[in-house]
Structure formats: C-alpha cells, structure tokens
Amino acid sequence: MNALLIGLITAIGSFFAAMLIAPAVVRLAGGRAVQTLLGYVKQHENKAGTPTFGGIIFILSTTIAAAAAGAFSHELGRMLMLVFLGYGLIGFTDDFIKVKLKRNKGLTAWQKILFQVVAGFLAAWFSYRSPFVGSAVSLNFGLGEWDLGVWYLPFATFVFVAMSNAVNLTDGLDALAGGTGGVYVGFFALILAVIAFEAEHMGMSVYADEVNSMFYASMALLGGLLAFLWFNAPKASIFMGDTGSLALGAFFAALALFSKNPLIGAVIGIMYVVSCISVIIQVVSFKLTKKRVFLMSPYHHHLELKGIPESKITARYMIATFVAGLVALCII
C-alpha cells in the first residue's frame, strides 16, 4: 500500500481512537486527580479544578495507531516511539506527584532534569550508533552535512532536554501546546514523506522504510492531537499536563535528530524557542538588575497580562508556527 495512504489512514485511526479514549480519561482524571493551579495569572482563576493527565489521550492513540501501521517494526520508528513513551512516563510521574500530594510542584527541578538527561543520552547514544543516523547533521540550505563526531552525544542530549522543556513551558494556555504541536508534527510529517520519496527513488529502499516508519508515527500523533484539541480547546475540559508536554517535546526532538535535521526542528518550533528564551531573559535580567523584562514569563503569559485574549494568543502562535513551517520547507 502507498506510504501516503497508510499515513492518512493512520492519522484517521488515531483520531477516532483518541476520541474514544478521551471521555474516559477526562472522567477518571476529573474524579481522582485535580491539579491545583498557581494563581499568578488572574485570568486563570476559572481554570482551577480542570483535570490534568490529558497527554494520556494522544499518547495511547498514537501508540496504538503507530503499532498498527508497523512503525515498531523498524529501528527509527521504534526508537521514536520509545522516546515518546519514556518522556511521557517522566511527565506522568511528575503529574501524579502533583495530584497525589495536591500541590503544584511534582518532581523537583533537579530530579526532572536528571531523568530527562538520562533518557536523552540513551536516545542520543542510539542515534549515534544507528547506521541510519550517525553523528552527522544536515546544515540545510544545500550546504551538506557536518559530522560532529563524539560531540553529537552531548549535542543530541541537549536537544532532547531543551525541546521537551520548551514544549512544557509553552503548555500554559488552552490549546497552545497542542495547537502548535499539531502544526509542527504536520509539517515534519510532510518533510519525512519527501525524504522517504527521494530515498526510494535513489534506490535506498531500506532507509525509505525507516523514514516512513517515523512518518506513520507522526501521522498517528497528528490524529491524536486533533482529537485532544477537541477537549482542550477553550474552555479546556482537560490539560495535557507534563505527561503530554514532555512526551511531545521529546517526539519533536527525535524527529529532528533522527532525520538529521535539528535546524529544521528549531525553525518549525520557533515559538517553543521563544518560550525558552523569554524565561532565560527574565531570570538573567532579574538576577543581574532586579528588574523584569516581561510582565511574566514565558512570553505568552506576558501577552495575557497585556490584555490580549487567550484564544488570540493561541491563534497567533499557531500562525507563527505555520509560517515557520513554510520557511523550513524552503531551506531543507
């Protein structure tokens, strides 16, 4: 069967699987696990009591649909999904501690970073040793590849930790992380389809199959995210929590690294980069000058406090991600 058709069927299957899973997750999370929100943003007072753990919805649907499409039968697809599930488990642990102890803090910052670094290094080691990835990364713009050698390991580990935390920081408004995530994975799925098509026509059928396995997993995630947004759109019935945001960020990092296109990942994920940088600027500025550059960080909360409606911020972030995706298609 044509790879594109398999991908489309996988996305549709994941969507309907998530639509079936979601009501049960919302019901169970709402009855047993209520997240206590920090009251830093007045506009969020009406969100107190909204259940978390929503990431389970698209994690389960993606795993089921990707497995049905045969993604686990190939090295890259299998590792992509293991990274996704591994970081999802870290996030689930964090969320579980929050709701069990009825507090807004789960794992300590150092505990969370340690788990992320270990998981990221293991994934980096896999890709470094894989004949389908190796230590070289594409420079894009038609400039060929740059072989990082053993330095690929700390670089890739950093990408995993940075991207997972960047998506986590962006998960602050209804549909924000899920909406931008849907755009991100949609564009990357298109890029993977092109890479696989070119590899097939160059006689590299084994590599094409490996890339297609990531394409199927990406389409599965796209379908799952669309269903999740059905319940996460304003006013959200459930939040994805760290369970979802860490899993998403790791999935995005793995797509970029396993396809040897980390720059493309940063371009499409520009709004995640903005979230990260805004937090760094805020912290450094306050430590050095005792003054804050933003009313609040990450940047989307600054915009909220400036009076911009939540739905408009989310829409603009998605538009910016879409435009960044178009730019990525031009430079790959």
Give the pLDDT confidence score for residue 105 in this predicted structure. Answer: 75
Whether the pLDDT of residue 209 is over 70: the answer is: yes
Nearest-10 crossing angle of helices 241-258, 55-69? 40
Structure tokens at 181: 């995530």
Q: What is the mean pLDDT of the chain?
A: 93
Residue 326 falls inside a structural domain: no
Residue 311 falls inside a structural domain: no
Nearest-10 crossing angle of helices 75-100, 152-170? 50
The binding site for Mg(2+) comprises 168, 242
Q: How far is CA 59 from CA 54, 91, 308, in A?
A: 9, 12, 31
Do 299 and 248 meet the contact criterion of CB atoms below 8 Å apart? no
Distance CA 61, CA 53 (A): 14
The binding site comprises 168, 242
Give the pLDDT confidence score for residue 32 in this predicted structure. Answer: 53
Per residue in 235-280, pLDDT tens? Answer: 899 999 999 999 999 999 999 999 999 999 999 999 999 999 999 9
Residue 129 falls inside a structural domain: yes
Q: Which domain holds residue 111?
A: 3-268
Per residue in 95-124, pLDDT tens? Answer: 999 888 776 678 998 999 999 999 999 999
Do 184 and 321 meet the contact criterion of CB atoms below 8 Å apart? yes
Per residue in 273-299, pLDDT tens? Answer: 999 999 999 999 999 999 999 999 999
Per residue in 16-64, pLDDT tens? Answer: 999 999 999 999 887 554 554 555 566 665 666 788 899 999 999 999 9
| pTM, full prediction | 0.95
Give the pLDDT confidence score for residue 172 in this predicted structure. Answer: 86
Residue 54 falls inside a structural domain: yes
Residue 327 falls inside a structural domain: no
Give the pLDDT confidence score for residue 46 in this predicted structure. Answer: 64
Element of type H or E holding 84:
helix 75-100
Pick the closest to residue 168 from 113, 219, 215 (CA basis).
113
Structure tokens at 99: 């709701």
Do 82 and 130 meet the contact criterion of CB atoms below 8 Å apart? no
Residue 288 falls inside a structural domain: no
Residue 30 falls inside a structural domain: yes
Residue 27 falls inside a structural domain: yes
Residues in the chain: 332
Do 211 and 24 meet the contact criterion of CB atoms below 8 Å apart? no
Q: How large a percentage of the chain has pLDDT more than 70?
A: 94
Domain total for the chain? 1
